[in-house]
Structure 1
Amino acid sequence: MRYPEGGGLTAERRTFREGIRLQAGLRFAAGEKTVVIAKDLWVSVRSVERWRRAWREGGLEALRSAGPAHSPTVTDAQFAVLEEELGRGPVAHGFEDQRWTLARVQTVIGRRFKLSLSVATVWRLLKRHGWSWQAPARRALERDEHAVELWKKEVWPRVKGSRRHAGPGSSAKTKPASR
């Protein structure tokens, strides 16, 4: 039932749940006990306690649905501004070097648009607009091909091998075939 259109509840389900909360609110006014309300409405005691607290503070209105959850989004117009900001470079935004990380882009979005997005959401936003992760255009000048080949040939086989010691009582030992 949850997340039918990619997030939250359907309008029907939200209305149904609001009705349950409003029924509980009417029963709060009648002085019924929390445990009885929870049992009759088939909900947890903790939910009824939470609703009762909200009802005490704001009456039946506090039990009404606040509507579907809304996550902040960056509009196309805002993204165009963001691209301009990214084009200015990280140093222009107070970062020490010229690397854009998702956390830095997240910070720029927060500062510029007053939106709080997760790092994963920032990645999806950038990817949706054709941005990709950065990869070096060429190998580093300092790279020593001879040292790399030597490491692959001599060190990697030792590192790659099992790190377990196959001593007495070790699970790394193979058991003899059962007869």
Structure 2
Amino acid sequence: MRPQGTAQQLEKRRRQAIQLLKAGKNLSAVASAVSSSVSSVFRWYQSYQQEGLKGLQPQPTPGRPPKLTKAQKGKLTKLLLKGPLAAGYRTDMWTLQRVAEVIDRQFGIRYHPSHIWKLLGSMGWSCQKPERRALQRDEEKIAHWKRYRWPHIKKRGTTWGPSGLS
């Protein structure tokens, strides 16, 4: 699992570990001090011995580089905040398919809709499903029922299950 922190913070942690080792601390004490494993501290030390401070610098993360740049993600956020109606859709609800279509139209980058949730998660968004409510719903009548009828029903203490099961 990749440790938390920026590349600079992680490099600072590796340098701190090397300083503690140079000061005479043992591997397990250093690992505890920098909140890491003994094997990681040993690997950092070997890298430092072979390459010096250059061996402690952050390495590029493995994997494919992201298709969208940070600037494009910022523009996508603005587009999403404007809403689906502004993007030309008939209903006011984003779906993964719609977000994928917007990305394709705006940036010429194609994502499979099933990957969009990962992309949105990395941008701080979450998938949510709207509550379904009846069109005939009358909020005033509901509030009245909750305020006046429900307390009487609650006071009676009647059960809704079969009676006589004691």
TM-score, scaled to structure 1? 0.37
TM-score, scaled to structure 2? 0.40
